[in-house]
Amino acid sequence: MMIGAYPLEPDVINGGIESVTSTLVPALAEHDEIESITVLRFHHGDAATDHRRIDPKTEVYYLRGQTRFRMLTRSILDVRKARKLAAQINPDVVHGQEIGCYGDVATRCGHRSIVTVHGLPHVESRMSARTLRERMRSGAMERMIRRVLRRAAVVISISQYDAGQVGRLIRGRQASIANPTGTEFFALAPSPPTEPRLLFAGVMTPRKNVLGVVNAFAIAHRRVPEARLVIAGPQPDPDYADSVRDRVSALGLRNCVDVIGLVDNCRLRDEIAAARAVVLFSQEETAPTLIAQAMAAGKPVIASRVGGVPEMVCHGETGLLVDAGDERALAARMSALLSNQAWCQQMGHRAHEVALDRFAPAAVARHTIAAYREAAGHHLDGQSGKQEEQLWPR
């Protein structure tokens, strides 16, 4: 049983975790060891159906989630619904796809549980907390995450960065498994020559520093006048999205910067294919899905040197790194790649090779099943005393 963000509609993917689950679930279903997969996705009135059969092995339940007092009540209404479903299907393991609320529900279902660390929400909330109320919420979140990490039989880290951040809080096993990337992104490689075009794709929030991307592009555009920038992704913070559009207008970039909002998976593939390079200028990250997708597609990445990003992008080999917030350095990297098609293709080719080794769905599914067996009590190779299982190449 998997509990977490799963697409509400087929091929309409909102965020990195939905991309991961929609790739991992069918890859798991292809293995004979998996008899069935039941996915539980909580929603807030935006699901078109309560149940969807994906394939003979896989079904998804969309249940109305708790919206008020989640932290205060420890998501008790969601826990009750999850326990009821778990009692019906009696899963061998329950896999929570994050260490926040979904992970909290998964570890309280009464079955052996696994959680995947898709991000560090307590770190993110601490960084953004300004008011007393926000600081109190941040403290409550940190207590919840500590509880989740103590209870899980296996905690899957997706980067060395998050493994180091949460390792001391884990009482069970710790495994390192990269997130999978859909085969449709691998199919885009090798990249043909492209126009001088950059792509940012991600949630439009201050943590992603989209304003910094726009500022840097303005400098790069003066050096490469034919350059274009596409900004794609959901906009949960309308004020911040408006500030990005206002900055685009103020810098005179309306004719060369497109802010297109949330796109489906097909459009995202098209945008990655059309880009010469992909840009991510975040202030904090764990292991961004966009970077893995770009690498799979044979595209170099320009990204800030934060969190687990340097583990994914080898500077000068598969992409380029800059310090977080250094807009002039980002502009210089943008200009360099926009002006050098051959270099982009060279780095993109190497990025694709690395992605095949790290992010292929079949390999990730195989390692995940090993973690399921471990959580269910079937220790691998007699190494039950080992505290961390290395399950993907660095």
Claim to verify: residue 341 and residue 380 sit in the same structural domain: no
Give the sign of the dihedral formed by CA 49, CA 55, CA 56, CA 61. Answer: negative
Claim to verify: residue 158 and residue 230 sit in the same structural domain: no
Compute the mean pLDDT over every residue in the chain, rounded to the nearest whole number: 92
As for how many domains the chain has, the answer is 2
Claim to verify: residue 104 and residue 221 sit in the same structural domain: no
Claim to verify: residue 8 and residue 106 sit in the same structural domain: yes
DSSP state of 245: H
Chain length of the chain: 394
Q: By percentage, how much of the chain surpasses pLDDT 90? A: 82
Q: What is the pLDDT of residues 119-173, one digit of tens each?
A: 887 677 666 667 887 788 888 889 999 999 999 999 999 999 999 999 999 999 9
Claim to verify: residue 125 and residue 99 sit in the same structural domain: yes
Claim to verify: residue 47 and residue 67 sit in the same structural domain: yes
Claim to verify: residue 100 and residue 15 sit in the same structural domain: yes
Claim to verify: residue 305 and residue 323 sit in the same structural domain: yes
Q: What is the pLDDT of residues 163-213, one digit of tens each?
A: 999 999 999 999 999 999 999 999 999 999 999 999 999 999 999 999 999
Q: How many CB atoms lie within 10 A of CB 250?
A: 11
pLDDT at 139: 85
pLDDT at 389: 46
Tell me if 245 sits within 8 A of 286, measured CB to CB: no
Q: How many CB atoms lie within 10 A of CB 254?
A: 12
Claim to verify: residue 257 and residue 165 sit in the same structural domain: no
Q: For residue 233, which of 189, 186, 181, 272 has the smallest C-alpha distance?
A: 272
Q: How far apart are CA 271 and CA 194, in angstroms?
A: 11
Asked whether the predicted pLDDT for residue 390 surpasses 50, the reply is no
Q: What is the pLDDT of residues 55-64, one digit of tens each?
A: 999 999 999 9
Q: How far apart are CA 248 and CA 252, in angstroms?
A: 6
Asked whether the predicted pLDDT for residue 387 surpasses 50, the reply is no
Question: In the structure encoding, which two tokens stand for residue 132, read together?
Answer: 């007393």
> Residue 377 is part of which domain span?
2-180+360-390
Claim to verify: residue 176 and residue 111 sit in the same structural domain: yes
pTM of the model: 0.87
CATH number, residue 131: 3.40.50.2000
Claim to verify: residue 241 and residue 108 sit in the same structural domain: no
pLDDT at 281: 98
Cα distances (Å, whole numbers) of residue 193 to 92, 226, 277, 320 = 48, 15, 11, 19
Claim to verify: residue 303 and residue 164 sit in the same structural domain: no
pLDDT at 129: 63
Cα distances (Å, whole numbers) of residue 286 to 40, 83, 160, 181, 332 = 24, 30, 9, 15, 25
In 225-326, which residue ranges form alpha helices assigned H by DSSP?
A: 238-250, 265-274, 289-296, 309-312
Contacts of 56 (CB under 8 A, 6+ apart): none
